[in-house]
Amino acid sequence: MTMNRLDSPPQSVEELVELAKQGQTSAFDRLVDLYQDRLYSYAARMVHDPVEAEDIAQEAFVRAYRSLPSFRGASSFQTWLYRIASNLTIDATRRHRRENTVSLEAPADTEEGPVAREQEDAATAGPASSVETRELQREVHRAIGQLSPKLRSVVVLYDLQGLSYEEIADILGCPLGTVKSRLYNARMELKQKLQGILPEADGG
């Protein structure tokens, strides 16, 4: 129907990237389809504002599209895209912190609750009602929102987005040991903040 239509769908992200670099906008549209939900989820957990999160995700794709000719594939496209989004979200959270306008009450508009891997086990370890579970998720989300942008980013990328240490190190541009150290520090802070809510977090 259009000159940009893909006659035979590529099987890999790499193929889509190459076609997009050649000017096939439909290939880039498919990359957007693949990553927009994850990118929005990440931004929403970082900035706690669905509207701003959507703006950040859209801006990340715009910047990726404009910079596509310079993408050499040293990292995966996913890592490169997350790196762009990470820079945007960290700038936004720092700006909010300076302005003291970050809302820690607004839930992130995502499909799964903001509960880290180890905290999720504690949250589901008893016959808690759905109301209690939602309240717990709000408290965990609030605690994550109180972390510094650097610590929050590592927690969200690892515990909530499921990325590896290596991917996070590449995204944030820091050594692997720094990622592990930040994750440890973030979890310690979260345990302190949630001490009265999750007493099990100290017990084992």
User: What single letter denotes the amino acid at residue 99?
Assistant: E
Report whether pLDDT(23) > 70.
yes
pLDDT-derived band of residue 111, with 50, 70 and 90 as boundaries? Answer: very low
| Domain locations in the chain as residue ranges | 10-107, 112-204
**Tens digit of each residue's pLDDT (9 = 90 or more) over 134-169:** 777 788 888 888 888 889 999 999 998 999 999 999
| pLDDT score recorded for residue 8 | 57
**Tens digit of each residue's pLDDT (9 = 90 or more) over 48-81:** 889 999 999 999 999 999 999 999 888 899 999 9
Of the options 3.10.20.30, 3.90.1150.10, 1.10.1740.10, 3.90.1260.10, the CATH number for the domain spanning 10-107: 1.10.1740.10
| pLDDT score recorded for residue 131 | 66
| pLDDT score recorded for residue 90 | 79
Of the options 1.10.10.10, 1.10.3720.10, 1.10.8.50, 3.40.50.1820, the CATH number for the domain spanning 112-204: 1.10.10.10
pLDDT-derived band of residue 10, with 50, 70 and 90 as boundaries? Answer: low
Once rounded to an integer, what is the mean pLDDT over residues 17-32? Answer: 93
Report whether pLDDT(120) > 60.
no
| pLDDT score recorded for residue 146 | 86
* Better pLDDT: 119 or 74: 74
Can you give the pTM of this predicted structure?
Answer: 0.73
